[in-house]
Copies of this chain bind each other. A is one copy, B any other.
Amino acid sequence: MNKLTDIITDPKRIIAKNAIPPSHLTDGLKLKYGYADILVYPKTTAEVAAIVKYANTNNLNITTRGAGTNLVGSTIPNGGIILDLSLMNHIVELDKQTFTVTVQSGILLQDLQQFVEKHDLFYPPDPGAKNATIGGNISTNAGGMRAVKYGVTRDYVQAIEVVMANGSVLNIGSKNVKDNTGLALKHLFIGSEGTLGIITQCTLKLIAKPKVSQTFIVGFNTIEQAISSITTVLHTLTPTALEFVERKVAQWGERYSGFKFPLPNSQAYLIIMLDGSDLQTIEQLRKLLLTNLGDCDYFVAEDNNQTNQIWTIRGSLVRAVEAITEQDPIDIVVPINRISDFINFTKQLETQTHMRMLAFGHAGDGNIHLCILRDNRDDKQWQSDLQNVHQALYQKCLELGGLPSAEHGIGTAKVSYYNAAIPEANRQLMRTIKQQFDPKNLLNNQVYMTVV
């Protein structure tokens, strides 16, 4: 096998350097661009294996991408081959008896969710980008809003098929619910950002679709009150989602979506979703909230329309910001009792630096998505201000026992913060594993692990 055109014979699926669309040279932010020699669209695992073998023989970098929605530079290539898995989007098997679905890794999250829900089953992980691929979700161990109750992508991956750097194909895991038969290799690939192998197929765990859900909002007079209520809510209810939004942040969503957010006199909100058997009557909710949370107001969505409006506003926040100005997305996680410390720190920093920052996020698991707004800064000022703010934020995050990435990954964007957060001995162990799995360092070698 001498040429890639012998492997991918369909000319529509092999794109020469000069014809590669710019969207394939960047990530979801579309701010930085890389370069590549060729773009290929395999359709089968056998094709992926042959391409990887070819790359290995010819010492070519491989940058694997799904839908390219990542926010940390992981899909910005640095020469070699772009391996686009978006055509590997088939459902291989729905097995209702074992509550599993097997899919090629290029299927979009939204397509998978719709498919299984039609069969009265449910794939709980629900990261914001519904147009991301499942392969991308696995490679960043994506989380999302329902993680508070249901956990993250890692918790739903039963088996993976992986093409290793030498082109061999490994099958890891099974449809068995319990497994203590050997080392948990599967978990090493999940969240590895494409550095250890290329996931071509996976078997995902499903659950019975919750028959009902309920959304309500608790409004507070101060941000502190809202945030200090988070652990109480976690002790009192079993929320599917537990999101924190400030009034002024909700207003961005109102302007963008055209919908009104309830309880306009409150300063900060917790948006809470319950589902299945965790639903409460209005009377139960009233008692629980008033007994446990003190002085607060609440609004219970009465129908699908109200529910959708609330979640549309919450879901539109990043786009609402991006419609006005460039923004830098932060994906910090802190232990849940330090959320208020972190958010208070962003307030101080905002005052000190005059950078606008919108904090919102997955309050139930300490994952704060902070948008830092560029506003009218020129390139130089923006980069310099952003770097200063980053350093202060990530430093504070570490002081609070937090981590630089909850679900976006490290990519190229957060390497220095990753280096500061993870002890050198741990990083050395990761590099050792990378070296054994990919001795020529060809797979996604632009991202964090290879940078010392």
Contacts and interface: CB of A to CB of B under 8 A. Distances in A.
Contacts of A278: 277
Given A176-B334, A335-B175, A422 B143 contact: no
Interface stretch (A257-265, A289-297, A343-351, A425-433): A425-433
B170 A423 contact: yes
A352 interface: no
A101 interface: no
In order of increasing CB-CB distance, the 9 nearest A-B pairs are A187-B187, A97-B337, A178-B406, A177-B365, A175-B335, A181-B403, A183-B430, A98-B335, A176-B333
A268 B300 CA distance: 45
A182 interface: yes
Interface residues of A, number: 76
Given A184-B187, A185-B426, 16 more contacts: A97-B231, A141-B180, A154-B184, A170-B423, A171-B426, A172-B426, A176-B333, A176-B334, A177-B335, A178-B365, A179-B405, A180-B191, A180-B407, A180-B409, A184-B190, A208-B235
Contacts of A185: 426, 429-430
A401 B99 CA distance: 15
B99 A423 contact: no
A356 B387 CA distance: 71
A336 B188 contact: no
Contacts of A372: none
A188 B191 contact: no
Interface of A: 95, 97-99, 140-141, 143, 147, 151-152, 154-155, 168, 170-172, 174-185, 187-188, 190-192, 196, 208, 231, 234-235, 238, 276-278, 333-337, 362, 365-367, 401-410, 418, 421-423, 425-427, 429-430, 432-433, 436-437, 448-449
A423 B171 contact: yes
A426 B433 CA distance: 14
B140 A180 contact: yes
Given A176-B406, A335-B176, A182 B418 contact: yes
